[in-house]
Amino acid sequence: MDIRQQQNELMDSIIDYLPKLIVGVSDAVSNYQSGQEGKANELMIDIVDGLKWLSEALTLTISIQKDPIDLSELHEHFNEMISAYENTDYVLLGDILEYEILPILEKWNEKLAV
Per the document, the length of the chain is: 114
DSSP for 20-82?
HHHHHHHHHHHHHHTT-HHHHHHHHHHHHHHHHHHHHHHHHTGGG-SS---THHHHHHHHHHH
Per-domain residue ranges of the chain:
3-113
d(CA 51, CA 84): 16
Q: pTM for this one?
A: 0.94
pLDDT value for 114 = 75
Residue 1: pLDDT band with limits 50, 70, 90: confident
| pLDDT confidence band for 77 (50 / 70 / 90) | very high
pLDDT, tens digit, for every residue of 43-71?
Answer: 999 999 999 999 999 999 999 998 999 99
Q: Pick from 48, 24, 40, 50: which is nearest to 91 by CA?
A: 40
Which class would CATH give 3-113? Answer: mainly alpha
